[in-house]
């Protein structure tokens, strides 16, 4: 293997509480019912716009309302995205070992680009990841393969030399659509069955277990 691509939320970082607090703040500003943190496990994964759509009542899911609430979310989240968020245990050590073994590392997230880059820079510093990509205007969100294809093009890695590590059905589908090997992690936001049902080739329970699949 030459390249490992990681999802961000639920894979590298446990960010659920900050996402939930920020979404509830935006909902509250517009007079909508809030949700308990655990409910957000099934709302995140497809980007902020889809998160807000899922959080709103069905009769409020108009494009204009979604974008108004989304703007409040982004404004609040941008100042609070690191209140409770932290790397999962073992992730910093895994990344260090992968770099030591000469692998290229990348991030492919459906979180908006500015937040993705800021979180990576804050928690992992510069120089760990060759490519850090979030959701950007004009680029389809995962599970569309565009973001992975861009990473492959930038790094020069081939599909057969790439692992994609994530915690949700979106991630497994992204890997399959991209022709790279999907690895599902059980410490994230979604259950193991969802990962298996959506094509995970490997399931890992601890970050260090990923090392078994990179070869020598």
- Residue 190 shares a structural domain with residue 126: yes
**pLDDT score of 175 more than 70:** yes
Q: 207 and 148 in one domain?
A: yes
Pair (69, 97) in one structural domain: no
Percent of the chain surpassing pLDDT 90: 99
Question: Do 53 and 100 belong to one domain?
Answer: no
Judged on CB neighbours under 10 Å (0-12, 13-18, 19+), 215 is: exposed
Residue 8 has pLDDT above 80, yes or no: yes
CATH of the domain at 137: 3.40.50.1000
**Whether residue 31 sits in one domain with residue 135:** no
Same structural domain, 73 and 170: no
With CA atoms as reference, report the closest residue to 122 among 108, 132, 136: 132
Please give the pLDDT value at position 216.
Answer: 52
Q: What is the pLDDT of residue 199?
A: 97
Shared domain for 64 and 25, answered yes or no, is: yes
- The pLDDT of residue 63 is 96
Question: Mean pLDDT throughout 75-95?
Answer: 97
CATH code for the domain in which residue 38 is found: 1.10.150.240
d(CA 153, CA 179): 14
End-to-end CA distance of the chain: 8
Q: What is the pLDDT of residue 20?
A: 98
Handedness of CA 7, 13, 17, 23 (dihedral sign): negative
pTM of the model: 0.95
The span from the CA of 15 to the CA of 33, in Å, is: 21
Among 58, 80, 102, the domain-final residue is 80
State which residues form the domain around 28: 16-80
**Could you tell me if 48 and 143 lie in one domain?**
no
The per-residue pLDDT for 34 is 98
Over residues 14-53, the pLDDT tens digits come to: 999 999 999 999 999 999 999 999 999 999 999 999 999 9
Mean pLDDT of the chain: 97
pLDDT at site 45: 92
Statement to judge: residues 34 and 90 lie in one domain: no
Q: Are residues 75 and 123 in the same domain?
A: no
Rounded Cα distance, 85 and 195, in Å: 23
Is the model's pLDDT at 96 over the cut of 60? yes
Strand order in the sheet with 202-204: 131-135, 104-112, 3-6, 162-166, 181-185, 202-204
What confidence tier does 143 reach under pLDDT thresholds 50, 70, 90? very high
Q: 73 with 160, same domain? A: no
pLDDT for the residue numbered 215: 75
Helix, strand, coil shares of the chain as percentages rounded to 5? 50, 15, 35
pLDDT in the model for residue 206: 98
User: What's the structural domain count of the chain?
Assistant: 2
pLDDT of residue 188: 96
Confidence of residue 110 (pLDDT cuts 50, 70, 90): very high
Which residues carry out catalysis?
Answer: 7
Token pair listed for 178: 């991209």
Nearest to 134 by CA among 149, 121, 147, 153: 147
Local structure of residue 101 (DSSP, 8 states): T
Domain final residue, candidates 60, 80, 100: 80
Q: Are residues 139 and 126 part of one domain?
A: yes
């Amino acid at each position: 293997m030459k390249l490992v691509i990681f999802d961000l939320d639920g894979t590298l970082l446990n960010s659920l509480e900050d996402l939930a607090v920020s979404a509830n703040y935006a909902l509250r500003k517009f007079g909508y019912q809030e949700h308990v943190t655990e409910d957000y496990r099934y709302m995140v994964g497809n980007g902020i716009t889809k998160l807000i759509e899922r959080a709103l009542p069905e009769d409020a899911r108009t494009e204009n309302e979604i974008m108004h609430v989304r703007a409040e979310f982004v404004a609040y989240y941008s100042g609070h995205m690191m209140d409770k968020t932290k790397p999962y245990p073992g992730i910093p050590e895994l990344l260090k070992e992968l770099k030591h073994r000469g692998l290229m590392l990348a991030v492919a997230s459906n979180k908006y680009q500015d937040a993705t880059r800021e979180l990576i820079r804050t928690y992992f510093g510069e120089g760990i990841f060759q490519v850090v990509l979030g959701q950007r205007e004009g680029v389809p969100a995962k599970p569309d393969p565009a973001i992975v294809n861009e990473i492959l093009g930038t790094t020069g890695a081939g599909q057969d030399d790439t692992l994609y590590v994530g915690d949700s059905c979106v991630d497994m589908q992204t890997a399959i659509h991209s022709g790279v090997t999907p690895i599902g992690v059980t410490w994230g936001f979604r259950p193991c069955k969802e990962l298996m049902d959506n094509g995970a080739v490997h399931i890992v329970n601890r970050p260090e277990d990923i090392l078994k699949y990179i070869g020598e």
